[in-house]
């Protein structure tokens, strides 16, 4: 379900995802991802350089200057969440309302 006043650009959304109003760009959402109202994904760096994806183990050059979020199965966000480019929301992670996510979130992690 993609709600009214939602802009989705160059993104892949798998089954059973819910997105209320917001901006989702250059992103991939696995199954059962729930995005509350007001999500804004940053998909470009201010300096327009390539976006690095950082995990617990390593940092990977995405080889692109446009990348939003990579959300694992069952990830959820509260209202008015913002994400920086290349952030991973691990499976079953939860982001509390109003949080700006600068770094990737691990599986089952709760970000307040």
**Active site residues per annotation:** 20
CB 43 within 8 A of CB 28: no
How far is the C-alpha of 34 from the C-alpha of 36, rounded, in Å? 6
C-alpha dihedral (42, 44, 2, 88), degrees to nearest 10 = -70
Q: Are 86 and 66 in contact (CB under 8 A)?
A: no
């Amino acid at each position: 379900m993609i709600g009214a006043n939602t802009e989705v650009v160059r993104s892949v959304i798998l089954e059973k995802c819910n997105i209320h109003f917001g901006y989702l760009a250059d992103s991939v959402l696995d199954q059962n991802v729930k995005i509350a109202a007001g999500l804004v994904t940053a998909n470009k760096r201010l300096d327009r350089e390539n976006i690095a994806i950082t995990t617990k183990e390593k940092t990977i050059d995405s080889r692109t200057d446009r990348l939003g979020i990579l959300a694992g199965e069952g990830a959820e966000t509260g209202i008015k969440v913002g994400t920086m480019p290349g952030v991973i929301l691990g499976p079953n992670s939860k982001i509390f309302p109003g949080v700006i996510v600068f770094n990737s979130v691990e599986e089952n992690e709760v970000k307040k």
